[in-house]
């Protein structure tokens, strides 16, 4: 029974920690908007500038999310201040829960988790709230959980190189935060 519980929380923590940590595995940028004006018109240029700004802000939020998640995972610290800066619910609650689980089991993250260049694959700036979808190829092959007491690897926590997706959402305060993410460990990249 304990082995099954350990397996569940470790798999969940690794999945959450590796949602956004590598390069894009393909995909093209699309926008989901009503009739986008042509780019050579003033309205088209404004729309293109708005899309470029949204892409830049969403990717910055994603990068911040990865850095905050790495820092929090190395100490299994659900109160890492940077988490709330770059994550939003429901992802923030999920990440904090998994960090608490790791801490309760006496485990922390070790190794290297790499993002090889996330890519925006779609955006919907007309949605309420606006969203940007990000795709990444996460290399977690050298990333694992270890027990603090003896530095032994927690069984079942070695990662792989796989596709990860994340949703960046613009909140009423104007900041972009990562609100959802998934590690697609069945989809190597």
Is pLDDT at 28 greater than 60 in this prediction?
no
Range of the domain at 54: 2-188
* Mean pLDDT across 123-137: 97
* Mean pLDDT across 161-175: 96
Residue 176 vs residue 186, higher pLDDT: 176
pLDDT 10s digits, 37-88: 455 566 888 999 999 999 999 999 999 999 999 999 999 999 999 999 999 9
pTM above 0.95, yes or no: no
Residue 29 vs residue 130, higher pLDDT: 130
Is pLDDT at 8 greater than 90 in this prediction?
no
CA-derived radius of gyration, the chain:
18
DSSP string covering 95-163: HHHHHHHHHHTTEEEEEEEEE---EEEEEETTSSS-EEEEEEEEEEEEEEEEETTT-PBPTT----EEE
pLDDT 10s digits, 89-115: 999 999 999 999 999 999 999 998 899
**8 A C-beta contact, residue 179 and residue 168:** yes
Q: How many domains in the chain?
A: 1
Reported as type and span, the H/E element at residue 49 is helix 42-75
> Tell me, what CATH number does 44's domain have?
3.10.450
Is pLDDT at 27 greater than 80 in this prediction?
no
């Amino acid at each position: 029974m304990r082995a099954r519980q350990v397996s569940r929380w470790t798999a969940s923590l690794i999945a959450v920690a590796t949602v956004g940590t590598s390069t894009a595995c393909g995909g093209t940028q699309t926008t989901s908007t009503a009739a986008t004006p042509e780019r050579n018109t003033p309205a088209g240029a404004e729309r293109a500038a708005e899309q470029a700004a949204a892409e830049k802000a969403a990717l910055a939020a994603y990068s911040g999310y990865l850095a905050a998640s790495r820092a929090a995972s190395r100490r299994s610290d659900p109160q890492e201040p940077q988490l709330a800066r770059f994550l939003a619910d429901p992802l923030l609650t999920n990440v904090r829960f998994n960090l608490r689980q790791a801490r309760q089991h006496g485990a922390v993250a070790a190794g290297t988790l790499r993002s090889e260049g996330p890519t925006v694959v779609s955006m919907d700036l007309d949605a309420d709230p606006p969203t940007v979808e990000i795709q990444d190829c996460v290399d977690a092959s050298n990333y694992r959980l270890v027990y603090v007491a003896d530095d032994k690897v927690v069984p079942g926590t070695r990662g792989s190189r796989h596709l990860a997706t994340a949703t960046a959402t613009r909140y009423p305060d104007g900041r972009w935060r990562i609100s959802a993410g998934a590690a697609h460990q069945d989809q190597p990249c």
